[in-house]
């Protein structure tokens, strides 16, 4: 196995792109997620890969809730905002509006759908952890196709 082949093949795995919302008591934060999948139907559970040395991971461990915001294919600019480090003002969302619903994590007004989850398990798997969340709320807001990694020139992982 060559490093080049391994990276290339792992990047062939199809990934969605999501804005993952977390909270810190009364304030909100969000980041871009791509390693995300359903893992159980009963109970309804999903898994999310999160870099261990991140502020977002610390918030997930502390408050144990998160939201998954699905964006439309046309909303790459919104997603780009969450790739960048948080601005000095601490306002990660800029002009983007959002709502707080059941878990108190941000649901973007521009989202086409969302899930709200409570953390059920966290597994250390290397430089990332797998966060398993139980879905406690879900809603489809617009009938549009979701943004996925292959719609962009970006890649993560490999």
Indicate whether 8 pLDDT > 80: yes
Q: For residues 16 and 149, is the Cβ–Cβ distance under 8 A? A: yes
**Domain locations along the chain:** 14-150
Q: Return the CA Rg of the chain.
A: 15
* DSSP structure class, residue 110: T
- Nearest Cα neighbor of 69 from 139, 152, 158 is 139
14-150 fold: Pnp Oxidase; Chain A (2.30.110)
Indicate whether 86 pLDDT > 80: no
Q: What is the mean pLDDT of residues 9-18?
A: 88
* Mean pLDDT over the full length of the chain: 92
Taking the complete model, does pTM exceed 0.85, yes or no?
A: yes
Give the per-residue pLDDT at 158: 57
Q: What is the 3-state secondary structure (H, E, C) of 77-95?
A: HHHHHCCCCCCCCCCCCCC
Q: What are the pLDDT digits (tens) for 32-64?
A: 999 999 999 999 999 999 999 998 999 999 999
């Amino acid at each position: 196995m060559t490093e080049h082949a391994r990276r290339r093949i792992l990047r062939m795995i199809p990934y969605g792109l999501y804005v993952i919302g977390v909270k810190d008591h009364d304030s909100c934060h969000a980041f871009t997620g791509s390693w995300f999948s359903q893992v159980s139907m009963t109970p309804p559970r999903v898994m999310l890969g999160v870099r261990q040395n991140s502020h977002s991971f610390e918030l997930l461990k502390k408050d144990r809730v998160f939201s998954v915001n699905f964006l439309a294919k046309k909303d790459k600019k919104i997603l780009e905002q969450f790739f960048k480090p948080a601005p000095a003002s601490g306002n990660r969302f800029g002009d983007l509006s959002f709502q707080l619903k059941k878990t108190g994590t941000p649901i973007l007004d521009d989202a086409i759908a969302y899930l709200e989850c409570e953390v059920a398990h966290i597994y250390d798997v290397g430089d990332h952890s797998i966060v398993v969340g139980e879905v406690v709320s879900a809603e489809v807001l617009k009938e549009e196709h979701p943004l996925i990694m292959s719609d962009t020139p970006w890649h993560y992982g490999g």
